[in-house]
Amino acid sequence: MTEGLELDRAFETLGRKRNNPRSASASRQAAASRSNFIDQRLFAKMAADNVKPAPVSSDAEFLRRVTLDLTGRIPTPEAAETFLNSTESDKRAKLIDSLLDSDAYSDQFTLFFLNKFRVSRNHESISVPARNTFYEFVRSFVQTDRPYDQFVREMLAANGEVDTQPGTQFFARWMDVNGPIQDSWDDITDKITTTFLGFKTECVSCHNGRAHLEKINLWLTRRTREQFWQTSAFLSRMYYIRWSDDVIGFRPRIVLIDRDYGSYSGSVNPGNPGNRPARTGAVVDPEFILNRAKPRGDNWRQDLGRIVTEDKQFARATANHLWANFFGHGIVDPPEAWDFMRTDGKTPPPEGWPSQNAHPELLDDLADFFIRNNFQLKPLLRQIVSSDAYQLSSTYDGEWQPAYIRYFAKFEARRLSAEQLYDALTVATRTEQPMTVAGLAKALRYANQLPDATEPSTDFRVVDFLNQAGRGNWTTIDRSEEPTILGLLFSMNEAQVVQRSMGTSSAAISSRNQVLRIDAMPISDEEAIRKMYLATLTRFPLNVETAAVLRYRNGARAQWLSDLQWALLNKLDFTFNY
């Protein structure tokens, strides 16, 4: 938290020191010539503050970056060669369109939303059928590019049997089935504000903000626990029945039901008070904490979905989440910890507090664009990855300063996610293998197709690889994409990495892996090296790299090609998206 505040202050200080009226005017004129409103905003700000952007990424850098970001996988060598050899002036735009139209895009952004909702059969209230129902619900939304506001409204109003009714799983996942019903309402309320609106309310579910949150969130210091209860009251007509149809091994079955009467009461069973401080016995009616909106009818959860999605903060928070997915950090960062007293570009924050919103006008533009395009994801994603800002190099010419991060002055390299690492490994080595998933008839080939972090439960090797790479388990272990020494050693020595690049058919997982395929080609060693680099790193080798491989090659070609690919798989070029 302290580190983030220091970065905010450095960003604002740099802007004040370097802003020059003449240069700002010139920069606005230059930015106006750019066709993408993202670039108009960002490059005008950089020019006005004399911050030099990085050069544009090479075709190879862009190809690998956008393919990973939109599909979760690296390009095949055939696709890479076609793109790199193309002389079409609009080949980047055509590539973006083809990726957005691919099944791999649906896989990747289904996983993006599954990671947000974390509906897993690890949870005591989620069965395998319930997990699979939710997976198909999310995948259908992504695949058809259904408006996100419609999807969220349907989910927040869902009722019925959790095994079969899409959306009910969200509530089952965040219920506290062992505590009083008020704890379930409160847990779900915090998840709704955090996931869909970008601000946490967990703290004020236990106590007033004043005298507790002054160093964390100024806006929440002015919110009370009773205001939280009023928001939680939108869920107070929802209750559930928990039962099982399996008398031997308990299989959770939950049915969500809404009444047309009732309010939020602080009175709880003293024998089961829950894990929050005691509530008052007061009865409160629904009023939303962000905008004081109230229900229009008797179906309060349906009204809650409408209130959440109609507020512009829903579009802002969603756009910010998606932006962070592509750039590594949000325009407001962290994306799920907005402090509304520091995010309004028109009202400066209190003295001593930096603005949390690096580019308020741009974020509003993104939200407006999302709304104009009917809350569909693809137009917004296309706008982001088509921008010059997204296509900047990760290599910076000149002296880099930490404050430049909030200008998005270069592309921030980041380690591949666990699923991306596994899928990149299988694509690079041509060793994709079917994985069976509980309850699904069709075998899956890629890690970003898996419906939750317990799968593939029948293949401990894949599960171990993903866990070591920081996948987490969606319940008690958070996802982590921070590189570690242990992770690097695991990658270098793990049997799957070694065997998938083996140059002997008896040792390789597939007798037609990448090494054997290239070795069988009637081509020179130099060309074999070029193909191996392209297949693994999505680029051709530098002359000095080719010379080094030729100098140290030893034994049969399949053997030294195997050694070469193992070395490339363990380069930072492979494990990072740059």
* Whether residue 407 is found in the same domain as residue 499: no
Tokens 């409408």 map to which residue?
Answer: 306
Instruction: Classify residue 492: in a domain, yes or no.
Output: yes
DSSP state of 203: G
Classified as helix, coil or strand, 35 is coil
Q: Are 205 and 228 in contact (CB under 8 A)?
A: yes
Rounded distance between C-alpha atoms, residue 387 and residue 39, angstroms: 6
DSSP state of 576: E
Final residue belonging to a domain, choices 413, 437, 453: 413
* Whether residue 422 is found in the same domain as residue 391: no
* Whether residue 552 is found in the same domain as residue 489: yes
Q: Which pLDDT value is given to residue 8? A: 61
List residues bridging with 257 in a β-sheet.
239
Instruction: Classify residue 536: in a domain, yes or no.
Output: yes
DSSP state of 265: E
Alpha carbon separation from 102 to 66, 67, 82, 137, 459 (Å, rounded): 13, 11, 17, 19, 27
Q: Low-confidence residues of the chain, pLDDT below 70? A: 1-33, 245-251, 503-511
* Whether residue 498 is found in the same domain as residue 382: no
Which letter, b or e, does each residue of 31-64 get, where b requires 16 or more Cβ atoms within 10 Å of its Cβ?
A: beebebbbbbbbbbbbbbbebbbbeebebbbbbb
Which amino acid does the sequence have at 486?
L
* Whether residue 474 is found in the same domain as residue 558: yes
Instruction: Classify residue 73: in a domain, yes or no.
Output: no
* Whether residue 304 is found in the same domain as residue 381: no
| The total number of structural domains that make up the chain | 3
* Whether residue 442 is found in the same domain as residue 547: yes
Query: Which phi-psi region, left, alpha or beta, contains residue 234 (left: φ > 0; alpha: ψ -120 to 50)?
Result: alpha
Which amino acid does the sequence have at 566?
W
Rounded distance between C-alpha atoms, residue 206 and residue 315, angstroms: 28
Q: Which pLDDT value is given to residue 515? A: 95
Here the tokens at position 149 are 């506001």
Rounded distance between C-alpha atoms, residue 34 and residue 31, angstroms: 5
Instruction: Classify residue 72: in a domain, yes or no.
Output: no
Distance of alpha carbon 155 from the chain centroid: 19
* Whether residue 450 is found in the same domain as residue 371: no
* Whether residue 242 is found in the same domain as residue 361: no
* Whether residue 424 is found in the same domain as residue 394: no
List residues bridging with 332 in a β-sheet.
357
Rounded distance between C-alpha atoms, residue 472 and residue 17, angstroms: 43
Instruction: Classify residue 349: in a domain, yes or no.
Output: no
Rounded distance between C-alpha atoms, residue 303 and residue 313, angstroms: 17
457: number of Cβ within 10 Å:
16
The reply to whether omega before 456 is within 30° of 0 (cis) is yes
The torsion of the CA quartet 51, 55, 61, 67, rounded to 10 degrees, works out to: 60
Final residue belonging to a domain, choices 398, 413, 428: 413
DSSP state of 563: H
Q: Which pLDDT value is given to residue 25? A: 45
Here the tokens at position 30 are 């230059």
Q: Are 332 and 320 in contact (CB under 8 A)?
A: yes
Beta-sheet strands, E only, within 405-537: 414-415
Alpha carbon separation from 60 to 243, 389, 530, 531 (Å, rounded): 55, 17, 14, 14
* Whether residue 381 is found in the same domain as residue 450: no
Rounded distance between C-alpha atoms, residue 445 and residue 297, angstroms: 47
Domain residue limits at 233? 147-310
* Whether residue 531 is found in the same domain as residue 443: yes
Q: Which pLDDT value is given to residue 23? A: 44
Instruction: Classify residue 92: in a domain, yes or no.
Output: no
Instruction: Classify residue 200: in a domain, yes or no.
Output: yes
Instruction: Classify residue 268: in a domain, yes or no.
Output: yes
